Amino acid sequence: MALPQSLRTSVTPLELELIASEQLVEIVPLITMEKTAFISGAYGPLRPPAKCRIPLWMATNLKLKKKCHIVPPEWLSADFLQERLAKETSRPEFSKLPLRFAEIAKVILDVASDDVQNADKIKSLLKDLREARQAKSRDGLQKLDHSELSLPNLCSMEINEIRPFFIQAMGILTQLDREPSAE
């Protein structure tokens, strides 16, 4: 078949990671490289120790070959995440985080945890954040009806997680709503 069954209703976390890897991150290169034209744009020149912005996939590639250090984005710090977690647990709404924070954090912590300060602390904070937000999105199910549900500041990975269930629930609500008028 043109599209495997598992890909028909949703996208996979790996596909989301692929998309997130297009975003630019800052690196400190350990090699020199001239400015190079890529399909997504021209990057470089790399001149150690000057910082440079390149796509995350390229940074991962360089990092795995020990040819650069990744400078984690500002939000990937223990202080920032601690503050967001405090907001997350004290207020009813979702706190503002980059749309693809979960994917980017995962990629960076996987390949470059030595470039991140307090990597272990950040990992546990991300986990706490995730749990706090998960509980909120489950509560959102109560408000679901057949027409609309606003989910401000929800992140792409979280959307992907609740998608199958929420869409099915909405489909059933739509059916229930349509039936009385059809009679």
Phi, psi of 153 (to 5 degrees): 65, 15
Contact (CB, 8 A) for 88 and 97: no
- Taking the complex as a whole, the smallest distance from the CB of residue 65 to another protein amounts, in Å, to 8
Stretch that binds another protein, among 29-37, 83-91, 115-123, 126-134 (CB under 8 A): 29-37
Site residues for another protein, window 56-95 (CB under 8 A)?
A: 57-58, 61, 73-75
Closest approach of Cβ 7 to another protein, in Å? 8
Instruction: Judge contact between 117 and 77, C-beta under 8 A.
Output: yes
Give least dist CB 38 to another protein, A.
5
Strands 24-29 and 52-55: antiparallel
CB-nearer residue toward another protein: 61 or 82: 61
> Binding to another protein (CB under 8 A): which residues in 95-124?
96, 98-99
14 binds another protein (CB under 8 A): no
Residue pointed to by tokens 């990992």 = 123
Closest listed residue to residue 62, CA positions, set 79, 74, 78, 44:
44
